[in-house]
Structure 1
Amino acid sequence: MATGDETFSYDHMKELKEFDNSKIGVKGLSESGITTIPVFFIQPPETLSDLKSSSTCTEIPLIDLSNVNSDLHRPKIVEQISEAARTWGFFQVINHGVPVLALDEIIVGIKAFHEQPTEVRGKQYVREEGRGVMYASNNDLYRSKAASWYDSLQVWMAPEPAKVEDIPAVCRREVVEWDMHAKKVATTVMELLSQGLGLEPGKFDELGFSDTRLFMGHCYPYCPQPDLTVGIKSHTDYGLLTVLLQNQVHGLQVKHGDGWVNVKPLREGLIINIGDSLQIISNGEYKSVEHRVLANSSKESRISVVEFFQVDKRNESCSYGPLPELLSPEKPAIYRNFTMREFQENFYSKEIDSKSLVEKLKL
């Protein structure tokens, strides 16, 4: 006869492995019609209480890039973008040059991938971070205190691109094309951010700031208990810059001051945010900011397409830190340099979190 302790015993790692080995992801759980979520998705009390903190009605800065190549208008755009990067760490750009068709196609392609039958998706389910193509639920599944309610398709685009034939056929063309569009937008934004620091427009490009690119197609399916978990927990991005496209299902929130701001999906808009590495390299001028995604209470899946930009990860001993041009006796370095090895070890040693690299490097 079982004692009370045995009845309530819970093997966290065993449950995680069973879920991971099932290869169905949260999309499969959602499609199965469950009404309660597995225990390992339930977030700690401090996370859940913070979710209830009221979000403000403010909106992140919106920047129109239509006149970015005009000598007359460009200085104003530089001012707007650098101000947004200093005070918000997040902004949305419109008239960025990416055709509407390309925006629609990548969302449709990623949605089609995640909506394939469970057994089809399951054949591609693999947990192998750092290279090639990976489809799995929660990058940090085995490192986090509680899992989040999302699945991801991950494709390395540079410096060692995944084999094109390894990208799922249902979204292969769209992913390859999106990488080209995202890189173009990121290059433009980096030029403006560089000018905003008083540097030459091509400075970030010269430093190889888009030499490492990671594409991710997230799916946040319907969650039957959205008040007990999150889509993605609060974190900052580790890289330099992130380009994000989302469908029309709400959920993204950005920390601003003491509150959370809902980021409304804007058709044809692209969201840009500053990563920890750029905060360090800009010597704290530009800020990486916490953001999160709420668990999806809508029957329609939330789809987001993310491209992360980082310095070349191949040379592990290469060192990065505050740019010498930005330092002076009045403005000394507030961070020490870091190597790519240190960057990688910091990322892969724990769950996604907020500013751990920034805090570690503070002088």
Structure 2
Amino acid sequence: MVITSSDEVQESNHDKRSELKAFDDTGTGVKGLVDNGIAKIPKIFIHDRRSGVSSDADHSSDVPVIDLEGIDKNRSQRAKVVEGVRDACTKWGFFQVVNHGIPESVLEEMISGVARFHEQDSEVKREWYSRDYTRKVLYNSNFDLFQAPAANWRDTLSCVMAPRQPNPQDLPHVCRDIMIDYSNKVMVLAQRLFELLSEALGLDPNYLKDIQCAEGLFFLGHYYPECPEPDLTFGTSSHSDSSFLTVLLQDQIGGLQVLHDNQWFDVNPIPGALVINLGDMLQVSSVQIHTSLACQVMIK
């Protein structure tokens, strides 16, 4: 048995915090480390990769894919899609959507726009670097850098795009136009998804919109620079999203996994598809809605 004194623990915590602060003070994120040519990743990024779930991810074809083609014109097709959404949300909490109305060219330009921002000169990006989350637009590495057990190999551009869209001049010029265009189109898609989710719950199509589930949009543009020791860290560690709904655009390299039946499944990227994640808040709302409906039935 190894006995660690409280002084040793405090010294270790102090060293870690000092290293985190030194990294954060550069204002250049993970991309700055890569640009400096590091061959080994700093200790703050090394994860204990042991897990209580299986890491085998060879069942990617099982992740549901929902085709939205014709749902506004064909009642039987819409009913089929609603049933598919209900099944995907009940069993997975995730699904991919195709024929969602956002042109593939817009998706590609959004990916390119995020890359353009993160691949700018460090001095240009540094003006956006901050941990002041009252700012309208900011860029940093790991929102929980000083709280997480280990940092992720990731930088992020973030901005609240709705309900009050920022002044275009407040957005980075290298991706300003596409951020606005993409966000507007995602809001339209979200309205349709909330209609389908409402119907899947047996409610009026406008129910979730009427209780303001579709009011806000928080934009995150993640960037994962090439890592010299990828087996020691994660781009994004395991987590759940607290939002009502997450619309995820991933490039064709892939890497996203979802947890299902205590096993990780790859979500293979489909050209033009978007990944939909049922967030924690919507799952809680759904339980409350079901409880409310059950009470009404029992009263009757």
TM above 0.5, yes or no, is yes
Of residues 61, 68, 71, the one that matches 1:68 is 71
Q: 2:5 maps to what in 1? A: none
Instruction: Name the structure, 1 or 2, with higher relative contact order (CA <8 Å, separation 6+).
Output: 2
Take 2:201 and 2:64, find their aligned partners in 1: how far apart are those partners? 19
The answer to which structure has the higher helix fraction is 2
State the 1:209 CA deviation.
0.9
For the pair 1:242 / 2:246, whether they are aligned, the reply is yes
Q: 2:163 maps to what in 1? A: 159
Q: 2:3 maps to what in 1? A: none
Q: How does 1:115-130 map to 2 (within 5 A)?
A: 115-130=119-134
Q: Secondary structure, in 3 states, of the residue corresponding to 1:230?
A: coil
Distance verdict in 2 for CA 1:52–1:122, change over 3 Å: farther
Identity %: 42
Q: How does 1:1-363 map to 2 (within 5 A)?
A: 11-44=15-48, 47-49=49-51, 53-59=55-61, 60-69=63-72, 70-283=74-287, 321-322=288-289, 325-328=292-295
Take 1:222 and 1:50, find their aligned partners in 2: how far apart are those partners? 27
| Contact residue 48 and residue 229 of structure 1 kept, 8 A | no
State the 1:164 CA deviation.
2.1
Return 5+ residue gaps in structure 2 as ranges.
1-7
State the 1:72 CA deviation.
2.5
| Contact residue 41 and residue 228 of structure 2 kept, 8 A | yes
Alignment length (residue pairs): 287
State the 1:84 CA deviation.
0.3
Q: Secondary structure, in 3 states, of the residue corresponding to 1:232?
A: coil
Take 2:236 and 2:221, find their aligned partners in 1: how far apart are those partners? 13
Q: 1:298 maps to what in 2? A: none
| Contact residue 48 and residue 227 of structure 1 kept, 8 A | no
Take 1:261 and 1:63, find their aligned partners in 2: how far apart are those partners? 17
| TM-score, length of structure 2 as denominator length | 0.90
| TM-score, length of structure 1 as denominator length | 0.75
CA-atom RMSD in angstroms:
2.1
The answer to which structure has the higher strand fraction is 1
Distance verdict in 2 for CA 1:51–1:110, change over 3 Å: farther
Q: Secondary structure, in 3 states, of the residue corresponding to 2:232?
A: coil
Cα displacement string for residues 172-221 of structure 1 (whole angstroms, at most 9, x for unaligned residues)? 00001111111111111110110011000011111111212101100011
Q: 1:291 maps to what in 2? A: none
Cα displacement string for residues 198-250 of structure 1 (whole angstroms, at most 9, x for unaligned residues)? 00001111111121210110001111111111111111100110101111112
